[in-house]
Structures are given as structure tokens and as C-alpha cells.
């Protein structure tokens, strides 16, 4: 089996779930919000409206711990 393209770096909630997911190929971060069977996914944007891109997952996890 190939490596998974997306990885979850942050998750909160049970019935109403909020997650930050990273695309391992592009480094783009997505905010995912779900309630039961309904789920939305949108790219996280910086102050200039550009997608947040960090390709090094170790760097992402370090920044989330701060």
C-alpha cells in the first residue's frame, strides 16, 4: 500500500470535529469541519490570502505545539 497523501496534524471534538490536515505532496494545510455525516474542507490561508504551505511535517508539528 502506498503512503497516505493526507495526514491529520490536529483534531478536536467527537460529534463536531475540527481537524487540520496536511497534503504530504504539496504541503498545503486544510481546515476540516464535520458534524455527523456532513464534512467541509477548505485551505488555511495566511494574512495575504495565500494557502499555508509547509512541506516539512516535523516543522508543522513543532509550530502546533507552541
pTM of the model: 0.74
**Domain parsing of the chain, residue ranges:** 6-65
Q: What pLDDT sits at residue 46?
A: 87
Residue 25's pLDDT is: 86
The pLDDT, as a whole number, for residue 19 is 93
Q: Which residues pair with 23 in a beta bridge?
A: 6
Question: All 3 cell numbers of residue 39?
Answer: 464534512
User: pLDDT tens digits, residue range 3-53?
Assistant: 788 889 889 998 889 999 998 888 899 999 998 889 899 999 989 999 988
Residue 58 has pLDDT above 70, yes or no: no
Strand-strand pairing, 38-43 and 16-23: unpaired
Amino acid at each position: 500500500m502506498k503512503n497516505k497523501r493526507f495526514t491529520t496534524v490536529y483534531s478536536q471534538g467527537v460529534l463536531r470535529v475540527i481537524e487540520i490536515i496536511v497534503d504530504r505532496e504539496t504541503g498545503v494545510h486544510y481546515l476540516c469541519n464535520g458534524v455527523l455525516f456532513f464534512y467541509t474542507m477548505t485551505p488555511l490561508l495566511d494574512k495575504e490570502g495565500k494557502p499555508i504551505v509547509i512541506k516539512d511535517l516535523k516543522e508543522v508539528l513543532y509550530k502546533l505545539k507552541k
